[in-house]
Amino acid sequence: MLTRREWLKTTGMGICAAGMPGIGLGALASKQPGLALQLYSVRHACGEDFDATLEAVAKMGFQAVEFAGYYAYRDDAAGLRKRLDELGLAVAGTHVGARALTDPKTVAFHETIGCTYLIVAGDGRVRDPEKSKAFAEDMNTAAAFLKPHGMFCGYHNHSHEFKPAGEDGKTWWDLLAERTHKDVVLQMDVGWVAHAGRDPVTYLKKYPGRTRTAHFKAFVARGDKGKQPFVGEDSIAWQDVIAACREVGGTEWFIVEQEKRPGNMTQLECAERSLKGLREVMG
C-alpha cells in the first residue's frame, strides 16, 4: 500500500489547502470539534470521480475534508472553493510536503480556499540525529511565514516518531515538540500512536493546546478478538482520547482516516462506518 507521501508524489499534487473559511482559532476553541474525513481514506473513489466523491462524503454527514491532493482542481482554487461551498463542506486541513510551506503560490491557493492548516504528512529528517533539529527550525520559520496569512503549519506522525531518540527516553515526537514553537501543530494520528505501543492520552496532555487537528484512525491490537478496524469498534479507548482532545488538546477537528478495508466493503462504506462509530463514542 502506498503511503500518503508516496500517493501525493504519484498523483502530482503539489499544492493543497486547509481550514474553515471565516472562522478563527478563538471562535473554534469553545465549540464542539468538527468531524472531517482525510480524503486519502477514499483515494480510489477520488481518482475515479472527485466531484462525486466529495458529494458522497458530504451526504454521509462529514462537515469537512482534509485534502491529500486536488485532482482536477489542482490549478483551480476558485473552482474547488465553489464546489465545496455548494456541498456545504469546510476544509479541516491538508497534507503537503515541507517545501510547499513557504511557497507564495501555496499561500495564494490557500487564501482563495480560505484555509488554515498545512500539515507535513511525514519527513524522514524528523528521525535523523543530524537533521532533526534543522527540520524543527524549518517548521518554526514556516510558522512565522504563514502566521500573517492566518495559516498554520504542522506535522503528522506515524509510528516511527514514537521510537526512542536517545537514552533519556525521549521520542522523536518529544524532540520535535520541544524544538518547535507552540504555533506548530502536532497533528496526532491516534492509531499510529497506539500502533507504536504508546498512550495517545499521555501525549495529548504532555503538549497541551498543540493538537489542533487529530487523526482518528482505528487500531486493533494483536490478539484482541472480536474487534474491527473501525473507529469505535477497535482497541482504542476513544472516549478517553476525546476527553483529552476537548480538555487539553485544543482540538478543532476530529479527522477520520480509514486505512483498513475488510471484506468486500468499499472505501466509502468503510469511512461511513467509522463516522458512525465516532458519533456513537462521542455520545
- Chain-centroid distance, C-alpha 63: 15
pLDDT at 112: 85
The label of the residue with cell 500502533 reads 195
Residue 213 near residue 119, CB atoms below 8 Å: yes
Other Cβ atoms less than 10 A from the Cβ of 31: the count is 9
Mean pLDDT within 13-30: 36
Mean pLDDT within 117-123: 96
pLDDT at 12: 34
pLDDT at 47: 97
Q: Running DSSP on this structure, what letter comes out for residue 175? A: H
Paired residues of 186 in beta bridges: 155
pLDDT at 156: 98
Q: Which residue has the higher pLDDT, 80 or 31?
A: 80
pLDDT at 111: 82
Rounded distance between C-alpha atoms, residue 107 and residue 122, angstroms: 20
Rounded distance between C-alpha atoms, residue 40 and residue 270, angstroms: 12
216-238 pLDDT, tens digit each:
999 999 999 999 999 999 999 99
Query: What percentage of the chain carries pLDDT values higher than 90?
Result: 84
- Residues 63, 68, 71, 73, Cα dihedral to 10°: 60
Q: What are phi and psi of 66, to 5 degrees?
A: -115, 130
Residue 107 near residue 149, CB atoms below 8 Å: yes
**What does the mean pLDDT of the chain come to?**
90
| Assigned superfamily of 4-282 | Divalent-metal-dependent TIM barrel enzymes (3.20.20.150)
Which amino acid is residue 77, in one-letter code? Answer: A
The label of the residue with cell 482525510 reads 38
Residue 16 near residue 118, CB atoms below 8 Å: yes
What band does 14 get if pLDDT is binned at 50, 70 and 90? very low
Rounded distance between C-alpha atoms, residue 158 and residue 46, angstroms: 23
Which amino acid is residue 52, in one-letter code? Answer: A
**C-alpha cell of 112?**
482563495
Torsion region of 56: left, alpha or beta (phi above 0 gives left; psi -120 to 50 gives alpha): alpha
